[in-house]
Amino acid sequence: MKKQYLLAPGPTPVPPEVLLAMSRPIIHHRSPDFIPVIQDVRKDLKWLFQTEQEVITVAGSGTAGMEASISNFMSPGDKILAVNGGKFGERWAKIATAFGVTTIEIKVNWGESVNVSEIKAHLDKDPSIRGVYVQASETSTGVAHDVKSIAEITKTRENTILVVDAITALGVTNLPMDLWGIDILITGSQKALMLPPGLACIGVSEKAWKHQSQAKCSRFYLDLKREKDNLLKDTNAWTPAVTLWIGLATSLKMMREEGLENVFARHSKLARATREGVKGFGLEVFAKNAPSDAVTAVLAPEGFDGEALYKNLRKQYGITAAGGQDQLKGKVFRLSHMGYSDTFDIITAISGVEMALYRMGYKHPLGSGVAKAQAVLIED
C-alpha cells in the first residue's frame, strides 16, 4: 500500500466532487440536458476571468488555446512581440512561424521576469507590432511576468493586442481581464480549474474581436468567432468534451463558493509557505525576483541531481512532483501548489523533499523546512 500524491504543475489533483460529477452517465450536448451546463459555465467563466465578454471553451490542450490566440488574431506577414523566458515562452514563435507570422522575441534569462520597459521600447519603435504575447506564469521556471504593467502599455494602442497565457495563473493570482485591459486570456482545464486536461478556455476583449474580424490566418476548428456565435445561443460549434464541461461547471461552483479573493489568498499563502519551506531546508528558489504563486521551481543543491530527486520522491514516497525541462533538466525540481491544494499538501511536499534529499546524502536538519512552512501556514 502506498498512497499517491500529485504535486506536479498540471494535471493537478481533481476533487472527488468533480470526479463524481464527471462519472455520471453521459448526456447529449444538443439535448436540453446540456443547456444548464453551458449556461453555468458561461456565467462562471466570466466571473473567473473578471470579464463581461464571452469566454470560449474548446476541446484541446493549452497549446490549442495558444494557437487560437495567434491564428484568430493575426494575418500572415503580421508581426508579434513575444516574451521568451522559458519553455512556454519559446512556443509563441514556433506557433507564429507555422502560421506565417513574424516574431520579435524578447529573450529573458530563465528564472527572471521580463523588463517591461523593453516591451514599451519595442512598441514605440515599431507601432506595426500587432500583438504582445506573454506568460502570466512561466511554468518551466516558476516565474511570473508583470501582466498589469504590460497591459498599461498595450491598453491604449488600438493596433496592438495583449495576449496572456495564464494557463498556470488564472484562478491562482489576480488577473482582472477587463479592468487591466488584457485582450486575450488563456487557461487550461488541468491547472487551477482542478480538472483533467482536455479543455482550453480563452477570454477575448472587444478590441481583440475587432482584430479577429480582419485576421486572415487559416483557422477552422479553433475559430473562436464561430464558437462565440454558438455560445450566445447556449450551444457549441463542435461536439464539446461533455464530461469535462460537466466537471468545469462543478469546479467553478466550488471556486465561487470559496470566493475569488480567498482562492487567490490561499494560493499566495501556499506558495509562500513552499518557498519559505525549501529555503528553510537550505535550498534556493529558482525565480530570481518574481516567483509564480502556481508552481515553485527549486534549484537542486550543488552536487545533487534534480531528476534523481524526482525519481526518489516517486519511488520512496509516492509523490509525483516535476523535474526541470530542457536546459533545467536535472538542475531544478518543481512543486505545484495550484488548484485543489491545501495546507497539508505543502507539508507533504516539503517533508517529502526533506526526507528524499536527506537519504540522498544532503544532510540538512530534518524538519527545518517544514518548520518554516508551518510558520507561514499558521498565519490567519
Q: Does 219 bind its own copies (CB under 8 A)?
A: yes
Nearer to its own copies, 119 or 328 (CB): 328
> CA 218 from chain center: how many Å?
26
Q: Which of 41, 56, 64, 356 binds its own copies (CB under 8 A)?
A: 64
Q: Min. distance of Cβ 319 from its own copies in angstroms? A: 11
Nearer to its own copies, 60 or 280 (CB): 60
Q: Min. distance of Cβ 363 from its own copies in angstroms? A: 28
Q: Does 99 bind its own copies (CB under 8 A)?
A: yes
Query: What is the pairing mode between strands 5-6 and 131-135?
Result: unpaired
Size of residue set near its own copies by CB under 8 A: 57
The annotation status of 334 as a binding-site residue, yes or no, is yes
**Where does this chain touch its own copies (CB under 8 A) — which range of 31-39, 128-136, 271-279, 295-303?**
31-39
Helix or strand run (H / E) with residue 234: none
Site for its own copies in 302-361 (CB under 8 A): 314, 320, 322
Q: Min. distance of Cβ 298 from its own copies in angstroms? A: 18
Q: Which of 48, 62, 300, 377 binds its own copies (CB under 8 A)?
A: 62
Q: Which of 17, 27, 157, 343 binds its own copies (CB under 8 A)?
A: 27
Site for its own copies in 167-206 (CB under 8 A): 188, 190, 196-198
Question: Where does this chain bind its own copies (CB under 8 A)?
Answer: 4, 6, 8, 10-11, 13-14, 19-20, 22-33, 58-64, 67, 71, 94-95, 98-100, 188, 190, 196-198, 217-223, 238-244, 314, 320, 322
> Which residue numbers belong to the known binding site for substrate?
334
